[in-house]
Amino acid sequence: MANVKNLDPILIKENHHKPVIAVIGENQYTELTDFVIPYAVFERSNVAQVYMLAPTKGKLNFFPTLSIEIETSLSDFDLLHPEGSDIVIVPALHNSENKTIIQWIQKQSKKGATIVGVCDGVWTLGYAGLLKNQRATGHWYSQDGLTKTFPDTIWQKNKRYIQDRNTITTTGVTASLPVSIALLEAVAGTKKANEVADEIGISDWGPHHKTEEFGFNWKHYLVAAKNMIFVWNHETVGINLYEGIDEISLALVADSYSRTYKSKAKTIGNHNLRSKAGIRFHSESEEEKQVDFEIEIPNQKKPIPILNHSLSGIQKRYGKNTFEFVTNQLEFPIQTDCQENDCAH
């Protein structure tokens, strides 16, 4: 095991030649980047057996947009790995009290798995009783609710992610990037983490964070209300699918545009195509392919510069207040003058 900078070593079962990692979602609605980014980081790194799971096989809907095909159910996984997984990643779920998922992660925890709650996935960990008398964090917007609902948890700010025994929790949506690289570092070493981080376009995946930088003021609430109410100005953004598309870039761009309350992204193209990490995204049917403008995801560019470019495009198209509304939701620290350069903090 290599020296680890940001997380303590993750316990891997002795009979696992590679770490077994499960990214679990709810078929009804699961947060897009919380799910896709951790799966893609590990699947593309080739250092682990990685599974996309849901209670049932078939379609898994993301919020705020897109959907994918799930090929392994929870019961399928249990048959494949009765000894349990090494890491379970829990994204934000529409129903954070989903009993099936809660019971499953409780069993995985008892079998020794490290349970990772990404963004509002922390609610599911809390309802599962995995955070009692432990340190944890969450999305800035949820801090008050988390504190009231789970008073026996020590809630902390100014940390991108927090590890306490066999649980890890993170802040907002884009924390899925640094925590995924930190987890990769913990199981495969710093050299591999550096390689994958460079492919994505980040140079720092440490836990430092400034929670006080994020929050909504009256301008953000006002622009959100206006964007939502003026439905005749709503736009549909088409993202063309192609074989081997970078699913991290796709998720970040689709998530960002769909949080403006003024536009929503959808994928267009052949739904039988698979992404770089082998994910099969569903595309709109022919009659639903009407879009106001299209965005191409270039594979030769890295995801973080693509995200910065998209956020810059949102600012130019919808204004500064909408731009800030989106970046606050994503809890993504970014300079307002970012264009195509990688200027993420």
| pLDDT single digits (tens) 169-197 | 999 988 999 999 999 999 999 999 999 99
Query: What pLDDT is attached to residue 342?
Result: 42
**For residue 166, is pLDDT > 60?**
yes
Q: Where are the extended beta strands (E) located within the chain?
A: 20-24, 30-31, 49-54, 58-63, 67-70, 72-73, 87-90, 114-117, 135-136, 154-155, 161-164, 167-170, 235-240, 263-268, 293-295
188 and 306 both lie in a single domain: no
Confirm if 252 and 327 have CB atoms less than 8 A apart: no
| Nearest to 253, CA basis, from 264, 269, 242, 262 | 264
In a domain, 142, yes or no: yes
Query: What pLDDT is attached to residue 341?
Result: 45
Question: What is the domain extent for residue 135?
Answer: 20-211
292 and 322 both lie in a single domain: yes
**For residue 334, is pLDDT > 80?**
no
Query: What pLDDT is attached to residue 338?
Result: 45
140 and 244 both lie in a single domain: no
**Position 286 confidence tier, pLDDT thresholds 50, 70, 90:** low
In a domain, 187, yes or no: yes
241 and 196 both lie in a single domain: no
Query: What pLDDT is attached to residue 336?
Result: 41
124 and 157 both lie in a single domain: yes
Query: What pLDDT is attached to residue 285?
Result: 59
In a domain, 345, yes or no: no
Confirm if 190 and 5 have CB atoms less than 8 A apart: yes
The Cα 101–Cα 97 span in angstroms is: 8
**Position 339 confidence tier, pLDDT thresholds 50, 70, 90:** very low
The domain boundary residue, chosen from 187, 211, 235: 211
Q: Could you tell me the pTM of the whole model?
A: 0.94
User: How large is the average pLDDT for residues 62-81?
Assistant: 97
The domain boundary residue, chosen from 196, 211, 226: 211
- What HEC string does 114-143 produce? EEEECCCHHHHHHHCCCCCCCEECCCHHHH
Q: How many residues belong to the chain?
A: 345
How many domains would you assign to the chain? 2
**Position 211 confidence tier, pLDDT thresholds 50, 70, 90:** very high
**For residue 144, is pLDDT > 90?**
yes
96 and 42 both lie in a single domain: yes
**For residue 14, is pLDDT > 80?**
yes
84 and 72 both lie in a single domain: yes
User: How large is the average pLDDT for residues 253-279?
Assistant: 92
In a domain, 26, yes or no: yes
199 and 247 both lie in a single domain: no
Query: What pLDDT is attached to residue 13?
Result: 96
315 and 297 both lie in a single domain: yes
57 and 163 both lie in a single domain: yes
229 and 318 both lie in a single domain: yes
**For residue 60, is pLDDT > 60?**
yes
- The one-letter amino acid code at 187 reads V
Query: What pLDDT is attached to residue 288?
Result: 56
pLDDT tens for residues 218-240? 999 999 999 989 876 799 999 99
36 and 171 both lie in a single domain: yes
**For residue 57, is pLDDT > 90?**
yes
